[in-house]
Every structure is written in structure tokens, then in C-alpha cells.
Amino acid sequence: MMATMNVLLLAMPDSFEHMATVAIRMPNGALTSLAGNVDAHHSVAVADLVLVQSQVRAVVERLVRERPPDVVGLSVMTFQRHTAQRLIELVRALRPGVRIVVGGYDPSLAPEAYTRPGPGAADFIVRGEGELTFRALLRALERGAGFAGIPGLTFRAGDLFVDNPARPVSGLEDGAIALPNRAARVLRGYTMVGRQVDVVETSRGCTFDCSFCSIIEMRGRNFHTYAFERVLADIRDARAHGARSIFIVDDNITLDVRRFEALCRAIVDAGLSDLEYLVQAMTSAIANHGLTLAPLMRRAGFRWVFLGIENILDEDLAFLRAGAKNRAREHGAPAGNATVRAIELLHRHGMLVVGGLIVGNPTDTRESIEANLEFARRYVDYPYIQHPTPYPRTPMTREFRARGLIVNERLDEYDGTTAVVRSEHLDAEEIEFMRWRAERWMKVRHLPRALARRPWFALRYGGKMLAHTFRGSSLRSLLGLEDERRAFARYRAIRARERTYV
Ligand code: B12
Ligand code: SF4
């Protein structure tokens, strides 16, 4: 007999600080992908708690009451660990006997955080890609069978946890992973600057090894692609569920530029270029292939490109191991940093650039940080400036630790905009202050351009976005009548309060 199980999948409410949640609330792609790959007789609900940030407890209580779950799964990034553990505690109190499964970057890279005895411990940890492991886990639970044969799973056995061998990464090409199940979502309100947004994958993996990136530890250096028919079906499904903006969440779609170009053509041929697309890209790929790639991207509907610039100085790029992906080439020979050329090509074809920069690296000085801030002021359409954050098991974390530069171990502050490491020359707080002070004004300057295509959104929410950007600041601090450091202290206090969701 097959037993139907109620499965509740939760994405954490903790969000980044770059943009107010009135402007961006993104679905978690992992959970709908899991929901699409469990056996059809189970009933799965997916709840993105970022949609209900101010009422997390009440919503979870309601969901547990309305459809009492047999299994609850949580998708967790490192800075969300604390919230996840509070939620595990809450769910266990509401429904004793429920099985708790955790997955995603944090449980995969720091499983020990979820096996420690205590109210925040899980029953199962799915390490790495989840679809096949989670399906096998539900089958084992259903049949009352053991868990020893399920690769990628860590499971509780009495007081101990057993780590099964890792699951090899999925080859995607073979069709083993079915389409996401968006109908499983039980909350509404996804947005990207006023348009309903969804996420779509076309590939997984990356062959680079940037020292700050969690992806390589998570799955090794490899690159696998979905067939175009599947990608187009996925985009159609997202559109049928109301999406007008699509975020292509591939780790690095620009690894295979010819494929990306072909995908752009396929999107146009399939009549899907009426949607707006956002994507992450390497500067080198855009700079070196942009003459053919950028016009195709534009035709397909790409409007926003998140460029992993990381840093404009060679020494910092060497530390981040991000030199190669930011190198321009001319006639086959290296020709300096690719960033300006990439931005210029994207602008020429009417796309906007979100500039990802990382400041506060070990040898950074006031001047080197200023140089990056000045670059962002001048060239990018929206800044996404972060501090190096020592996530579990990355090479960068090892180096920061060896050099004694990590000054903050409170993981809920590992949101990218809190400086938790210092440089050899500057305190962490000073680094964060420099970024905060500069970035607010960049956002003011860039906001009109960023919102130009959405006048009604600008009218309705522009004020809220500015209020978010300037929280902590006062008229006096803006007029120079109050030390800006006091405003910064107020901003940090507000941010600290925001971090308590449950
Ligand atoms: C899309 C994305 C976003 C989006 C949407 C986030 C969201 N709602 O999910 C946006 C732009 C908002 C975002 C923001 C941030 N992100 Co982000 N983001 C990504 C990205 C690009 C793709 C994630 C994705 O959808 N992949 C596709 C799905 C199918 O794969 P997956 O998530 O890995 O899930 C699989 C497994 O992990 C597992 N799994 C996951 N959850 C669960 C749960 C269960 C129960 C089970 C069984 C399995 C399971 O199974 C899934 C299917 O195989 C990744 C990776 C990358 N290339 O950079 C970074 C990444 C996840 N982000 C990261 C970070 C740090 C952030 C920010 C903190 C950065 C910042 N300071 O701005 C913010 C904060 C997020 C927030 N909530 O506000 C880090 C996480 C590192 C870490 N150790 O925690 C990553 C890995 C980037 C990196 N290179 O290091 N992000
Ligand atoms: S290129 Fe991007 S995805 Fe690849 S290792 Fe570097 S940061 Fe990670």
C-alpha cells in the first residue's frame, strides 16, 4: 500500500539588504524542483517565507494546522541557519513526531550544525543536489525501509547520525530531473520591481574556482546542461503561473557562450521573448563575445545582467581567485580587465548592469576600497557591493581564518553586507561604514534609471525603497549636522532587529 504523505517545504524568510522586500521577493527554485520530483501521490506544499516576513510564526502555525505535515523540509543558506533552527523547534512543538529534513548550502556544507543534540537538530540532511535523494527518502519512509542505501543522505540512527556516501552530481542531459512543480506554492507575492518573477535553471555547475564561492565545495567543478526543450517548457510553465520576469539562476551560464547564444535564439523562436530576463554573467564572456552575444540577449528579452566584477584591482582579484574570469582577450592574447568593455557592450544593447563587487579583502586599504566604490559610482546601473563572507568550507574562509582576520562568528550576520572580516589595514566596521555611506547615494543616483521602465512602481514604491536605503539616517545626518557614524549605528541596530523572524 502506498501511503500518501503531507510534505511541507519551507524557504527561510531572511533576506538580503541590497533592495527592500517591496521591490524584490524571489521564489526559492530548489523547493519547487523537489516538489516536481517526488512521487505523484504525495501532497506537497511549498512556502517561501520571504513573502510573509512579518508574520512567519503565524503562517507556519496555520500551514501546520491546515495540512498537518508528515515531513517538513527546510532550504537553508548559511546566514539563515539561526532562523532555520528556530523554525525546526517551532514545527516540532506544533507537531511532535514530524520528520525534519534540511537541505541547501548550509546543511550541505556544515551538516554538523544540524546534527548537534538540541531543539534545532534535524532528522535528515540532504547533502548536495536534492531531487533524487529526497524522492528516495520519501520512498524509504513510506515503506518503513532503511536509509543506508540512499546516497547524499545523512540520517539519524538513535543518538548518532550516519553519513551515507555522496551522490554523484546529476547529468541533467538524461532527463532524470523532472520539471519544477510551481502549483505546489501556497503563498503569493513574488516580485522583481513590480513584475511577478520566477526562477528557471538551464544548467548547473561551474568550472572556475573563485575562492569565496560555495558552489565548488557543494558539487565540484563541473558543468551540466538541461536540453532546450526542457528549458523552454520550464519558462512556459513559469509564464503560465503568472511570471513576467524570469531570473535564470544558473551558476554560470556564460561558461558556454555558444550554447547561451543558441538559447537566446530558441527563446525568440519559441515566442518567449515577451518576458523580461535577468541573468548572472562573467565579465570576460561578455567582453570577449559580447559583439555577437549581447544583441542576441537583448532580442531574447534580457534586461538586467548581474556582472560578477568582484573587484577592479589585480591584487584583490588574485586573492578572490577571480582574475581569469575577468580577463579580456584580444586576438587570443590577454588584454587587461574585461569589466569596462563588458559594461559598455551591455549598455550599447540596452541592458542594465547590476555590478557585483567585493570590498574588504585582506590587503584592502581605504584607497583600494574607494577605488572600487568610485568604479561602481561611475559605471554600474545598480550596485551590489558585498564584503567577503567566510561561508563554510570555502578556500577563502580557510585563508581568512589562517590570517586571523575573522572578527564576527555570528552567522546570522553573514548576509554579505555586514563586514565580518577585517583587512590588514582596516577594522571590519570601518569597511562596512565606507560601503554603507557610499552605496546609499549610489542607489539614489541609479534608482531613476533602474525604475525608468516602471513608472507606476516608482510612484508607488520609490519612497519605500528610498526609506529602506536610508534607514537609520536622519535629515540632520544627511545635512551634515550629525556625525554619520551615529546614523550608521542606528542602521546597524535596525538591521539587527530585522534579523529576528521567529
Ligand atoms: C538565485 C539565487 C539567489 C536569488 C534568490 C534566492 C532564493 N530565493 O532562493 C537572490 C538574488 C535573491 C539571492 C540572494 C542571496 N544569495 Co543567492 N543565490 C542564488 C543562486 C544563483 C542560485 C540558487 C538556485 O536557485 N539554484 C537552483 C536550485 C535548484 O539549486 P539549489 O538552490 O542548490 O538547491 C538544490 C540543493 O541545494 C538542494 N536543496 C536546497 N534546498 C533544499 C531543501 C531540502 C529540504 C532538500 C531536501 C534539498 C534542498 O536540492 C536542490 C535541488 O537539487 C545561488 C548559486 C549561485 N550560482 O550563485 C546563490 C547562493 C545560493 N546565494 C548565496 C548568497 C550568499 C546569497 C545572499 C546572502 C547574497 C547577498 N548578500 O546578497 C542573498 C540572500 C538571499 C535572500 N534570501 O535574500 C550563496 C549561498 C552561500 C551559503 N553558503 O549560504 C550562493 C550559493 C552563492 C554563492 N556563490 O556562494 N540568491
Ligand atoms: S565564476 Fe561564479 S559560479 Fe563560478 S566559481 Fe566563480 S563565483 Fe562561483
Cα 252 to ligand 2 centroid, rounded to whole Å: 7
Long-range contacts formed by 396-405: CB under 8 A, 24+ apart = 396/211, 396/212, 396/319, 396/320, 399/211, 399/319, 399/362, 400/362, 403/362, 405/362
Query: Ligand 2 pocket: which of 204, 211, 216, 321 to mutate (most atoms <8 Å of CB)?
Result: 216
The closest ligand to the CA of 249 turns out to be 1
Please indicate whether residue 346, judged by its CB atom, sits closer than 6 Å to ligand 1: no
Q: 201-235 b/e with 16+ CB inside 10 Å = b? A: bbbbbbebbbbbbbbbbbbeeebebbebebbbebb
Percent of the chain with pLDDT over 70: 100
Q: Picking from 17-26, 42-51, 153-162, 361-370, which range would have the lowest pLDDT averaged per residue?
A: 17-26
Are the CB atoms for 215 and 236 separated by under 8 Å? Answer: no
Point out which residues pair with 333 in neighbouring strands.
Answer: 330
Point out which residues pair with 72 in neighbouring strands.
Answer: 8, 100
* 450 has pLDDT over 80: no
Ligand 2 atom 3 nearest Cα: 251
Average pLDDT over residues 73-100: 98
Please indicate whether residue 197, judged by its CB atom, sits closer than 6 Å to ligand 2: no
Please indicate whether residue 73, judged by its CB atom, sits closer than 6 Å to ligand 1: yes
The total of other beta-carbon atoms located within 10 Å of residue 62's CB is: 14
Residue that has been written with the C-alpha cell 524568510 in this structure = 13
Helix (DSSP H) and strand (DSSP E) numbers for the chain: 18, 19
Distance CA 309, CA 315 (A): 14
Ligand 1: nearest atom to the Cα of 252:
57
Distance CA 74, CA 89 (A): 12
Are the CB atoms for 305 and 278 separated by under 8 Å? Answer: yes
Please indicate whether residue 308, judged by its CB atom, sits closer than 6 Å to ligand 2: yes
All three cell numbers of 80: 539563515
CA atoms within 13 A on the CB side of 231: 26
The contacts of residue 29 (CB under 8 Å, 6+ apart) are: 180, 199, 200, 201, 249
All three cell numbers of 50: 520571504
Ligand 1: nearest atom to the Cα of 206:
57
- Which of the 8 DSSP states describes residue 168? P
Please indicate whether residue 154, judged by its CB atom, sits closer than 6 Å to ligand 1: no
Residue type present at position 312: I
- The whole-number pLDDT of residue 19 equals 84
Please indicate whether residue 310, judged by its CB atom, sits closer than 6 Å to ligand 2: no
- The whole-number pLDDT of residue 2 equals 63
Please indicate whether residue 305, judged by its CB atom, sits closer than 6 Å to ligand 2: no
Ligand 1 atom 9 nearest Cα: 28
- The whole-number pLDDT of residue 82 equals 97
Beta-sheet pairing, 333-337 with 327-330: antiparallel
Cα 102 to ligand 1 centroid, rounded to whole Å: 14
All three cell numbers of 133: 535523494
- Name which of 90, 122, 125 is nearest 107 in CA terms: 125
Distance CA 349, CA 296 (A): 9
All three cell numbers of 311: 573587484
Ligand 2 atom 8 nearest Cα: 213
All three cell numbers of 388: 567577503
Cα 84 to ligand 1 centroid, rounded to whole Å: 15
Cα 145 to ligand 2 centroid, rounded to whole Å: 39
Q: Picking from 121-130, 163-172, 206-215, 323-332, which range would have the lowest pLDDT averaged per residue?
A: 323-332
pLDDT band with cut points at 50, 70 and 90 for residue 272: very high
* 153 has pLDDT over 70: yes
Distance CA 292, CA 209 (A): 27
Distance CA 268, CA 452 (A): 25
Cα 42 to ligand 2 centroid, rounded to whole Å: 36
The total of other beta-carbon atoms located within 10 Å of residue 413's CB is: 19
- The whole-number pLDDT of residue 446 equals 81
Furthest-apart CA pair in the chain: how many Å? 74
Cα 413 to ligand 2 centroid, rounded to whole Å: 22
pTM of the complete model? 0.97
Ligand 2: nearest atom to the Cα of 213:
8
Q: How far is CA 447 from CA 71, 267, 381, 391, 450, in A?
A: 43, 29, 8, 30, 5
Cα 77 to ligand 1 centroid, rounded to whole Å: 7
Residue 157: left if φ>0, alpha if ψ -120 to 50, beta else—which one?
A: beta
Residues 316-355 pLDDT 10s: 999 999 999 988 888 777 777 899 999 999 999 999 999 9
Please indicate whether residue 126, judged by its CB atom, sits closer than 6 Å to ligand 1: yes
Please indicate whether residue 280, judged by its CB atom, sits closer than 6 Å to ligand 2: no
Average pLDDT over residues 353-376: 97
Cα 213 to ligand 2 centroid, rounded to whole Å: 6
* 1 has pLDDT over 60: no
Distance CA 449, CA 381 (A): 7
- Name which of 113, 21, 129, 130 is nearest 73 in CA terms: 130
The pair phi, psi for residue 337, each rounded to 5°, is -70, 135
Ligand 2: nearest atom to the Cα of 282:
1
Are the CB atoms for 200 and 30 separated by under 8 Å? Answer: no
- The whole-number pLDDT of residue 76 equals 98
Distance CA 425, CA 421 (A): 12
Query: Ligand 2 pocket: which of 203, 208, 284, 394 to mutate (most atoms <8 Å of CB)?
Result: 208
Q: What is the DSSP string of 426-456?
A: S-HHHHHHHHHHHHHHHHHHHHHHHHTT-HH
Cα 284 to ligand 2 centroid, rounded to whole Å: 12
Ligand 1: nearest atom to the Cα of 170:
53
Please indicate whether residue 325, judged by its CB atom, sits closer than 6 Å to ligand 2: yes
Please indicate whether residue 213, judged by its CB atom, sits closer than 6 Å to ligand 2: yes
- 3-class DSSP state for residue 473? coil
Ligand 1 atom 72 nearest Cα: 16
Cα 249 to ligand 1 centroid, rounded to whole Å: 9
- The whole-number pLDDT of residue 51 equals 97
